[in-house]
Structure formats: structure tokens, C-alpha cells
Structure 1
């Protein structure tokens, strides 16, 4: 099939990934996002020839390579100097018998972002070449799945928090990799915000096929259709549940969505206990060992009048995880609730819950940076605690729960309630008597 096909001038009909409403998307070439008129979820951003996104991706890869070649942070204390690289944040965790935590750190800040950027470059090379390059469709299918697990920007913020935490203990130096990694995190974030999955699939495989008699303003399910959340293709429900455009698996509604969310939330709650009861790091200075839990770290900042940093740590490590668990629990209840809800508020809550979860990893990254820096033998050594791994599990399970939740279930329930209310109103309405005819 021809690459980078010209978009038709016809109006597209796209299903909303979050509320299932079929919307008309007029042909536009101004690069602005088109949003669902009911829930305001971004549907697509028309772009026939996007050359800026692959340029940004290549620049980010270059900055990441430089960040791995040079030292990231350095410090000097009592005449002892030490510098750490970005990979040391994971290497030292593995040395201190926390290989799982090391894998989480290295995967989220280096491996997954690098794979994502390489995939973007490869796909755009495929679009520019006469024939489709092997694996481009597979990579396009996995691009949106990788996005939530890239946390380079969270690591960059964690480095700033670490500086505030240790600046009173030693003289800190921001080395060359600090600036290149910060630039990499920023450009990666810009690249992600520019990526448009539906527009990318259109450029790879051509325009979407429009099923006959499809109407905008109605849900796909009510018209006997099912929409692909990756490429936006609509097709009849009776057909096999695999998209005939991009061959991704289709779900009219994600099977056992609420049960999976509840199971993941219960697991996250169980992990909260060791995460907050056990130390997240252990400091040994001149033979004296001092364990530190998450709350103890917050109190330490408060004692030193660093209340902004204490507020950041408390919010990211306590308020966000517990708030996310409560929010997801409420959304599961709302999907079965027998009362009308303000759907604008419910969608805002869902999107906030989905976006904010990964920022809880700040505390884990702070521990990784401090462990990598403070290895000074008997003078001062910081080692990771069991609480760090448990807290990482809380973050991962709550993120998985957010991605397993299907927001269309809430819209389905509200539609059922509206239809039931209309039937009840029609039943209570007295019959209209026709006037008698005069002889």
C-alpha cells in the first residue's frame, strides 16, 4: 500500500476512545487537535507531512547518548570527591540486592524512552521510503502503549529534589550529563505530545473506511459498530474482534474491566503497608545506622524549613497514591451507580488519575540518586530499603489499574439511566383524550 497516502477531502467519522461517541472530523491541515464534542477527548491532529516530530526524536536520542557518556552529578565532602552517571542510579541499586528496583529505574528512564524514540524514527523513515520498512506496523501499534511508562521528566525533577536534600551535606556539582539529560527529558515530552496515533496510521495505511449508514452524534455501540482505539477504524460488531485496518485487538468494552481494576487496587493497598512501614533508604555514618521511611523524609525537610520540598514529597508519595486509589475506586462505583452524574467532572477525575500516577516515582528516583552518590565507605553510605521496592509496586499497580479502567462503562450507565428515566416519564404521563366528533 502506498506510503504517506494523501488524505481524502471527505469528512472522517471517528469513535471516541473514552465515550464511544462517533464524531465528524472535517479535513483540516492546520495541525490543531480535534476533540470529541461530548467528553473533549483529543481524537486526532491532521498532519500530512510531519517532519518536526522525527527531528525532535532524533535530537532526543542524541542527547540521551551524550547523557550516558558523561557524569551526571558530582559532590565533594571532607576532601572526598565522587561523581555519578545516569546508569549508576540503577547500578548501585542492583549491587545492594535490589535488582527489581534497578530494572524499574533503568527501564523507565532509559530503555523504554530509547525504544520509543527509535520507533518514531523508524516509522517516519518507513513513511519516507518507497516501500514500507519491516516492523513499522508493529512499532506503531506499541507506541501508545509505551508512553505512560517513560519517566525521564520525573527523574529530572527527582534530581532537583535530591539536590535540595543533600546540598547541606556536601558541595554539589551539576555536571555535563545533567544538562543533556534535562534537554533529553524536555524534548522527549514535546515529542510525545506531538504524536498522533490515528494520523500516523492514516499515513501508514491510507484513509479509514467509512461503514455505510454511520451517523455522527450517536455512540458506535448503538449503531452496531465497534471502534479501534488505536487507528480509529469503525467496523460492524458482528465481525471478528480484530481491526481490519491495523489488525489490533478490539473490545466493545474491555472484558472484566472493573474486576481487574478492583484486583489491582487491592494489591496496591496491600503494598502500601510495607511501602510506608519499612525504610525506603538506610543511612550509615561512622558506624551509626539510621533508617528513613517516606514520612520520616518529609519530617526531615520540615525540620530544616524546606517545606516546599516536603510538600512535593508528601504530595507525590502519600497524597497521590492514596488519592489515586480512592479516585479509581469511585470510578468503578460510578460505573454501576444508579444515579445521574456530572460526566464532565468524572472525565476530569479519570484523566487526572491516569496522568498523575507516574509522578509518585519521584521518591524512588530520589533514593536511587542518593544511593548512587553517597558511597563513601565507613564515612557515609546510603543503601536502599525494602520500602522503595514496595512503593514502586504501589505506583505500578495503580498505573495498571488506571489503564485497565474503561471510561465508556460510565457513559453506558448514564445512557441507560437516561433511557429508563424517559420510559418512566412516558408511563406516568396521562393519555391524551381525542375530542368527540360532532354528528
Structure 2
């Protein structure tokens, strides 16, 4: 099987996989395939269970609270989106609804369809496209991030208001855990191996698919395996990346200056910015939670914007320095970028249960939607950047290399 490394672009032949170990790129050291702890059958089972559990998680109440004067309230997964929409922020409500409700259904539905076809030994013409879309949605479908955000919100609310987890909340916990297990047990390269095209399709003039990394004839317009449009590099990568990074940077002051939420308590207004919420967590003895919110809501967006700027500047200056370090940093940012949504999801789940009319209620401030825009735009900037551009400055590095399998101790195993 001949592919091009998605991080550095080196064309290389993948040897037959052993039962365990990992396959690293000869040039940049990126993990191309990992067999230890991975199983398509386990991933398929976890994906089916996740998809089934998403239905009761969305239809049943998540939590029940008993507020002032014995007022009892229930909240559903979509209640936060409806509340944010009613308060005049339809775009923010739509983004949170897509990431927390709709896209998980779509991702796991496509994943179940693709893995189910492979499990039955079928090769329908849509299987490559289905798995490609499922992999793309992995960045945006966030039941696991939603769960952690809900736990944080639960910890912040339960000390003031009696809060009880309902059946929908238990289903959400199970679905999120199984979603994490699906990501942990699924090796995308093993799936692509099962639906790979014959080797004779590869020609001397080679062009690698950006989506599935398979090398195709240079005159091909679309990948015959996953259906993606073929480009030697992501189209207009630097222009799009720089525009998105600059937009996210300009929105940062807005997101941190204006209050993210406003708490009305018996007629008194308490506006709170993101920094104010973090400070309150430290003051109330929730330092670990405050540190987690600071890392995901403040430090990570800054790292994404600064990292993308560093990568783009490196390409524009045609720098060959620290390529391995920059590539590893890019992988870290790409993997961690989705966890910036912890705080918005916390608000989405627990804002509806704090609506007690004139006694107390929460209103979303202008800083919240601006902060959500920073998270989405900075994540798009990471996705639009093509790390292979950094390696283009160092030459092609010897196409046609053959990878070697290593076990977990770093010894050659094939």
C-alpha cells in the first residue's frame, strides 16, 4: 500500500501490518498506523452503542433541580440551545446545537454504515465517502467534550442548588464514554487498508489524496477510494489560514472584555467575563476546575492562534529549522483544539436550570458568542493549514521510502 504522509508529504510504501506495534513516517516521525489496542470490531460495537444511546440522551431529561421556593425544573440537551436562541443569539445556538446534538448523530451514523459494510465483507461505492465524512466530522462532533463540560457545570451548580441526574444524563455519560472508546480503538489506516484500491492504479506521476493519503495517478481529478477532490496541497492554504487566524485574534479582546454571562439575582446584576468566572472558581475552592477552564478557554485558543502564525511565517520565510518540532506541535494543536468548547458546553447544559424568573436567571452576554466564534475560527485555521508546506521548503526527502513497524518498546518488528 503506497501513501503520502499527511504531515510531511513523503511518499512511502506501507508494509503488511503485524498484530501489534505502530508504523512511523520515515521523515517526520508521525504515526501512520497503530495496531496496539486497536480493533475494528471493537470500534464498530462502540460506534453502534454510541449511536443508539444518543437518542435517549437527547429525548430524556438530563438533570432535575429544586430551586428557590420549591421551584422544580428539568433540562434537556436541546434546552440550552433554545434558551440561547430566545435570548437573541441564534448563530451561537446553531453552532452549539450542531456540535453537541446533530453532528454526533451524523458522524456515528456514517461510521456505523462504513464499518458495518466492512464487517459484512461488502464494498459498496459509497463506503469511502462515508468514512471520509465520518473522519472529518470527528473534529466537530463532541459528545465527549459535552460530557466533561456538563460535569464542570454540574460541579459549579450542585453546591448551590440541589441537582439530580436523570435518565437522559446517564445515557449521555454512557454515550460520551463509548464515543471516546470508539476514537481510542479505531485506526483509520486499518479502515483505509480494507477499502484500498489495487496497487496498479499508482502511476509514476503521483498525486496524494488529502483526505485518505492514497497516492493516485497525477492526472486524476478525484480520489477513486474516498471521492475527495485531488490537490497537491490544500488550495489557498496560507491565505485562508492567515485570514482565519487574524479574525480570531481580533475577536479575542471582544470575547474577554464583554461579559460572557449576566446573572440576575433578586434584581441585582452580576456580569461575569471568562476571566471573572475562572477567578470565582479559584476563590470558591475549585482551583483544579478553574485551572482546567483556563487551559482550555484561554491558553489553548492563544496557542492555536500563535501556533498557526508561527507555521505560516515559517512557510513564508521558507525556513527549514525545527521542522520535526513544528510538526509535532501542529499534531498536538489539531488533536486538542476541540477541547476548547468545555466552557460553552457547560453554559449550554446548565443555563436552562438557572431560570427562576425574577428570583434568579442567567442571560448570555456578548462575550459568550464572541468567544465561541474565536474557538470555531481558530479550529478552522488549524484545519486549513497544510503542514506539508513546511516540509516543501526542505525538499521531497526521498519519495518511495519504506516504513518500518516498531513495537511499543521501540524495537523493529517487521
Settle same-fold status: TM greater than 0.5: yes
1:50 aligns with 2:31: no
Q: Distance in 1 between matches of 2:121 and 2:384?
A: 38
Q: Which moved more, 1:272-281 or 1:162-171?
A: 162-171
Query: Aligned residue for 1:242?
Result: 222
> Any conservation in 1 of the 2:10–2:396 contact (CA below 8 Å)?
no
Matches within 5 A, 1:201-220: 201-204=192-195, 206-209=197-200, 211=202
Q: 1:342 aligns with which of 322, 338, 354?
A: 322
Structure 1 stretches of 5 or more lacking a match? Answer: 1-11, 214-223, 419-439
Query: Aligned residue for 1:226?
Result: 207
**Secondary structure, aligned partner of 1:58:** helix
Q: 1:75 aligns with which of 65, 71, 77?
A: 65
TM-score (norm 2): 0.88
TM superposition shift of 1:89:
2.2
**Secondary structure, aligned partner of 1:148:** coil
1:117 aligns with 2:98: no
Q: Which moved more, 1:300-309 or 1:286-295?
A: 300-309
Query: Aligned residue for 1:216?
Result: none
> Any conservation in 2 of the 1:274–1:390 contact (CA below 8 Å)?
yes
1:127 aligns with 2:156: no
Q: 2:11 aligns with which of 16, 22, 35?
A: 22
> Any conservation in 1 of the 2:320–2:391 contact (CA below 8 Å)?
no
Matches within 5 A, 1:216-295: 224-237=205-218, 239-295=219-275
Q: Distance in 2 between matches of 1:165 and 1:45?
A: 39
Q: CA RMSD in A?
A: 2.6
Q: Which moved more, 1:198-207 or 1:110-119?
A: 198-207
TM superposition shift of 1:44:
3.6
Query: Aligned residue for 1:36?
Result: 25
> Any conservation in 2 of the 1:197–1:230 contact (CA below 8 Å)?
no
TM-score (norm 1): 0.83
Structure 2 stretches of 5 or more lacking a match? Answer: 399-414
Q: Which moved more, 1:299-308 or 1:193-202?
A: 193-202
> Any conservation in 1 of the 2:33–2:187 contact (CA below 8 Å)?
yes
> Any conservation in 1 of the 2:139–2:338 contact (CA below 8 Å)?
yes
> Any conservation in 1 of the 2:319–2:393 contact (CA below 8 Å)?
no
> Any conservation in 1 of the 2:74–2:353 contact (CA below 8 Å)?
yes
> Any conservation in 2 of the 1:328–1:353 contact (CA below 8 Å)?
no
Greater RCO between the two (CA within 8 Å, min separation 6)? 2
Alignment length (residue pairs):
396
Query: Aligned residue for 1:168?
Result: 159
Query: Aligned residue for 2:412?
Result: none
TM superposition shift of 1:209:
3.6
Query: Aligned residue for 1:377?
Result: 357
TM superposition shift of 1:409:
0.9
TM superposition shift of 1:199:
3.5
Q: 2:85 aligns with which of 89, 94, 101?
A: 94
